[in-house]
Amino acid sequence: MNTPLEIVAGALLLMIFLIYIINKIPMYREERLELLTKYRKTQNTFLKVQDMLSDYILSHDAIDQPIMPGVSCGEYLHEMKKEFSKNLSKNLLLKIRRCNNRRVINRINSMLNEQSNKLIKTRELINQLQKKSSDNSELCAG
């Protein structure tokens, strides 16, 4: 039978072991918070750009108008929606919140950077379309 001294010693060793394990496992709290902020910012920007394209399509009846060679505005909008659900979904948010792995954090960060770069290019494409449209309307009015 265990004596009280053995029980106390065992409990003490167990506590020391748990404290050691907890201190050894990096929590990456700051990185996760930064990543969550970046995720939300990218998600909001994505939705704004998607709305810009949708508004352009509706106001100019441009669903079949090419946004780039071989791709119509409607197809591009459809691809944007698919990409949003694939890369900026609630699953990614949950993954970021639970993540405790440096490689996964870096991979998600890289993907968010890639999404941000795509959004910049898409916004430029939409601005070019709007500029062409306003130039054409000025020519028709003049």
Q: Look at residue 97 in the predicted model and tell me its pLDDT.
A: 87
6-36 pLDDT, tens per residue?
888 899 999 988 887 776 666 678 888 999 9
Kindly state whether residue 4 falls inside one of the protein's structural domains: no
Asked whether the whole model's pTM tops 0.85, one would answer no
Q: Which of 105, 80, 110 is nearest to 95 (CA)?
A: 105
Cα(93)–Cα(101) distance, integer angstroms: 15
| 5 part of a folded domain | no
Count: domains in the chain: 1
pLDDT at position 137: 58
Tokens of 31: 């990185």
What CA–CA distance (Å, rounded) separates 131 from 137? 10
**H or E element at residue 72:** strand 71-72
The reply to whether 23 falls in a domain is no
Q: Which domain holds residue 118?
A: 28-141
Please name which of 45, 28, 23 lies closest in space to residue 106, comparing C-alpha atoms.
Answer: 28
**CA pair distance 142, 138, nearest whole angstrom:** 6
Q: Is residue 83 part of a domain?
A: yes
Give residue 128's pLDDT: 92
- pLDDT digits over 82-118, tens only? 999 999 989 999 988 888 788 999 999 999 999 999 9
